């Protein structure tokens, strides 16, 4: 009985050939369409993601405990300095409150809305990150059932993390802006000049910065430390989200544009919880029209 | 049959560990490559077909979660598993040099292919940097992890084969 079944086995070179064909076929299909990614993703979501969230919760708990022990002393020193800072900030806050009151008053006069401050957000936990060392993407524990769709923007704290590229039922894949493959249309806040922010493995590894390029040299020069935010002309990213700060600018050889480095506002090494903005850019322009 | 279950379990187990725990254990952003380790081990211990299937499914899982195109890593890992299968003839249980050498070579080949296809073709020519900062650290770290976990996996495979039939390449 067993012997008979063994006779049916395919020689391994033919198996290799067949599987290679299958791979090439699947590659071409997924490259041109999105047809078969969804069922695969659904199966994987059911089988793998629960384990991942479990293990990463345990891992997170363990690192939390060890970090707690290490940082208590640091925190005490930091507490001192922060208290001093709180006093200074309280004074500053008071004057700002007055300014804000005045600003609200003026806004009312101009009938301006505060549209882009009111994105709808939902929180999500990072359950796993890209297991290779070449790219930076990660998986979060909310998916299409929670209302997440591809191209939604992801933030952590005040800064832009990336955007959702793939969605399963209860998981979604996020490509970070520091990913070597990522491009973000951005602008420098102080001069309102547009540029492209590109993730770069090399600079990120060396000094924790990402590159920007095609910054058109305007009348005012861009300074180091200027804020860089997502631009109005991006098709995927909502406007006005902080990307990071300019750390180095140099003029290109053509003398028309500049390029340089940006320090991201988000600490990508310790990303645990993120906020997904459920407003999409393409719907967002519709909101503006209303 | 038992071995197939064991293979499926190991692939899922290693992928989950790789994408969660090992990312927090990474030094300077570099994590060891567990998927390469199991693909190579199953390759030179159980033969070409085993290596092929383990590589394929490990790569497929990676593609589903992190890849941009399906079956891309699956194909690279599949070939690595298959190539490792050729060394089954000269593998014997107490030799540690061959596994370490094979896993080192597999990781190197995997990363070189990856660099050429994903970075060189996009105009990132600074090979020296990527070699020194990604490939070599990952290799070293992977070898260290191999030394720790290889005896465990080897013993598990042997126990499984002793319990069941000793049929070689009975898969598929």
Same domain, A150 and A269: yes
Residue A264 has pLDDT above 50, yes or no: yes
Q: Quick check: is A181 in a domain?
A: yes
User: How large is the ipTM?
Assistant: 0.78
Q: What is the 8-class DSSP label of residue B130?
A: H
Same domain, A244 and A131: yes
Name which of A9, A22, A202 is nearest B172 (Cβ-Cβ): A9
Q: Is the backbone of residue B33 left (phi > 0), alpha (psi -120 to 50) or beta?
A: beta
Percent of chain A topping pLDDT 90: 6
Query: Which CATH number does the domain housing residue B76 bear?
Result: 1.10.1760
Same domain, A17 and A128: no
A24: domain range? Answer: 2-45
pLDDT tens track for A137-178: 888 888 888 889 988 999 887 788 999 988 888 889 899 998
**Number of domains composing chain B:** 1
Same domain, A183 and A275: yes
Using pLDDT thresholds of 50, 70 and 90, give the confidence band for residue B110: very high
Q: Quick check: is B108 in a domain?
A: yes
Query: Which CATH number does the domain housing residue A175 bear?
Result: 2.40.10.340
Q: Does A9 touch chain B (CB under 8 A)?
A: yes
B59: domain range? Answer: 2-163
Percent of chain B topping pLDDT 70: 94
Residues of chain B neighbouring A36 (CB-CB closer than 8 A)? 70
CB contact under 8 A, A131 and B85: no
Q: Does A14 touch chain B (CB under 8 A)?
A: no
pLDDT tens track for A57-78: 777 787 788 778 878 878 888 8
Same domain, A287 and A158: yes
HEC sequence for A4-38: HHHHCCCCHHHHHHHHHHHHHHHHHHHHHCCCCHH
**Number of domains composing chain A:** 2
Q: Quick check: is A57 in a domain?
A: no
Q: Quick check: is B65 in a domain?
A: yes
Please give the pLDDT value at position A105: 66
Same domain, A269 and A185: yes
Q: Quick check: is A91 in a domain?
A: no
Q: Quick check: is B168 in a domain?
A: no
- Other C-beta atoms closer than 10 Å to the C-beta of A15 total 19
Beta strands in A222-282 (DSSP E): 227-230, 242-251, 257-264, 273-277
Residue A261 has pLDDT above 50, yes or no: yes
Q: Quick check: is A259 in a domain?
A: yes
Residues of chain B neighbouring A63 (CB-CB closer than 8 A)? 24
Please give the pLDDT value at position A265: 86
Instruction: Indicate the Cα dihedral angle A126, A127, A133, A136, nearest 10°.
Output: -30
Residue B40 has pLDDT above 70, yes or no: yes
Same domain, A157 and A288: yes
pLDDT, mean of residues B155-165: 78
Q: Quick check: is B81 in a domain?
A: yes
CA A217, CA B68: separation in Å to the nearest integer? Answer: 35
- Other C-beta atoms closer than 10 Å to the C-beta of A175 total 23
Q: Does A20 touch chain B (CB under 8 A)?
A: yes
**Residue corresponding to tokens 């891309």:** B72
Please give the pLDDT value at position A103: 79
Percent of chain B topping pLDDT 90: 35
pLDDT, mean of residues A120-127: 84
Name which of B16, B78, B130 is nearest A51 (Cβ-Cβ): B16
**Residue corresponding to tokens 């640091």:** A74
Please give the pLDDT value at position B142: 92
Using pLDDT thresholds of 50, 70 and 90, give the confidence band for residue A7: low
- Report the residue of chain A nearest B119, measured CA to CA: A180
Q: Quick check: is B130 in a domain?
A: yes
Name which of A23, A131, A180 is nearest B74 (Cβ-Cβ): A23
Name which of B30, B52, B66 is nearest A16 (Cβ-Cβ): B52
Chain A / chain B CB contacts < 8 angstroms: 141
Quote the pTM value. 0.72
Q: Is A77 helix (H, G, I), strand (E, B) or coil?
A: helix
Q: Does A112 touch chain B (CB under 8 A)?
A: no
Our CA-based measurement puts residue A162 at a distance from the nearest CA of chain B, in whole angstroms, of 14
Q: Quick check: is B172 in a domain?
A: no
- Report the residue of chain B nearest A49, measured CA to CA: B16
Our CA-based measurement puts residue A217 at a distance from the nearest CA of chain B, in whole angstroms, of 25
For residue B129, how many C-alpha atoms fall within 13 Å in the half-sphere facing its CB? 13
Please give the pLDDT value at position B38: 92
Q: Quick check: is A68 in a domain?
A: no
pLDDT tens track for A8-59: 778 888 888 998 898 888 888 888 877 777 777 777 777 778 888 887 777 7
Name which of B24, B52, B115 is nearest A19 (Cβ-Cβ): B52
Q: Quick check: is A246 in a domain?
A: yes
Q: Quick check: is B171 in a domain?
A: no
**What is the secondary structure of A181-237 as a DSSP string?**
T-EEEEEETTT--EEEEE--HHHHHHHS-EEEEEEE--SSPPPTT-EEEE-TT-SSS
pLDDT, mean of residues A126-130: 83
Our CA-based measurement puts residue B55 at a distance from the nearest CA of chain A, in whole angstroms, of 11
């Amino acid at each position: 009985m067993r012997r008979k079944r063994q006779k049916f086995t395919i020689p391994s070179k033919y198996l290799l050939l067949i599987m290679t064909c299958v791979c090439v076929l699947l590659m071409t299909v997924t490259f041109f369409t999105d047809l078969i990614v969804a069922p695969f993703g659904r199966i994987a979501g059911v089988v793998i993601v629960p384990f991942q969230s479990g293990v990463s919760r345990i891992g997170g708990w363990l690192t939390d405990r060890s970090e707690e022990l290490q940082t208590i002393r640091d925190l005490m020193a930091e507490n001192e300095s922060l208290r001093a800072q709180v006093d200074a900030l309280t004074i500053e806050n008071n004057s700002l409150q007055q300014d804000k009151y005045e600003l609200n008053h003026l806004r009312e006069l101009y009938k301006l809305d505060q549209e882009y401050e009111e994105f709808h957000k939902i929180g999500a936990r990072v359950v796993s990150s890209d297991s290779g060392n070449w790219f930076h993407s990660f998986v979060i524990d909310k998916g299409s059932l929670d209302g997440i769709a591809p191209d939604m923007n992801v933030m952590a704290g005040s800064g832009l993390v990336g955007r959702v590229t793939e969605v399963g039922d209860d998981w979604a894949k996020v490509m970070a802006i520091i990913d070597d493959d990522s491009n973000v249309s951005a602008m420098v806040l102080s001069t309102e000049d547009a540029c492209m922010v590109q993730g770069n493995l090399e600079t990120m590894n060396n000094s924790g910065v990402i590159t920007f390029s095609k910054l058109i040299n305007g009348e005012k020069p861009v300074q180091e430390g200027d804020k860089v935010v997502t631009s109005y002309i991006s098709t995927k990213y909502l406007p006005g989200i902080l990307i990071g700060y300019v750390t180095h600018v140099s003029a290109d050889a053509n003398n028309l544009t500049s390029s340089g480095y940006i320090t991201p506002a988000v600490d990508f090494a310790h990303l645990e919880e993120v906020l997904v903005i459920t407003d999409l850019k393409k719907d967002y322009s519709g909101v503006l029209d209303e | 049959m038992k071995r197939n279950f064991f293979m499926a379990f190991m692939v899922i187990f290693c992928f989950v560990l790789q994408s969660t725990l090992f990312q927090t254990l990474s030094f300077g952003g570099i994590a060891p490559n567990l998927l390469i380790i199991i693909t190579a081990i199953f390759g030179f211990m159980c033969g070409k077909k085993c290596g092929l299937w383990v590589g394929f499914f490990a790569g497929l899982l990676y593609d589903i979660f992190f890849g941009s195109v399906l079956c891309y890593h699956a194909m690279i890992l599949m070939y690595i598993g298959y190539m490792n299968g050729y060394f089954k003839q000269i593998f014997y249980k107490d030799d540690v040099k061959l596994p370490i050498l094979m896993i080192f070579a597999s990781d190197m080949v995997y990363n070189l292919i990856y660099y050429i296809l994903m970075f060189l073709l996009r105009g990132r020519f600074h090979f020296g940097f990527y070699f020194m900062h990604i490939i070599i650290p990952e290799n070293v770290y992977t070898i260290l992890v191999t030394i720790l976990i290889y005896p465990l996996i080897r013993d598990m495979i042997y126990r499984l084969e002793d319990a069941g039939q000793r049929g070689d390449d009975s898969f598929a």
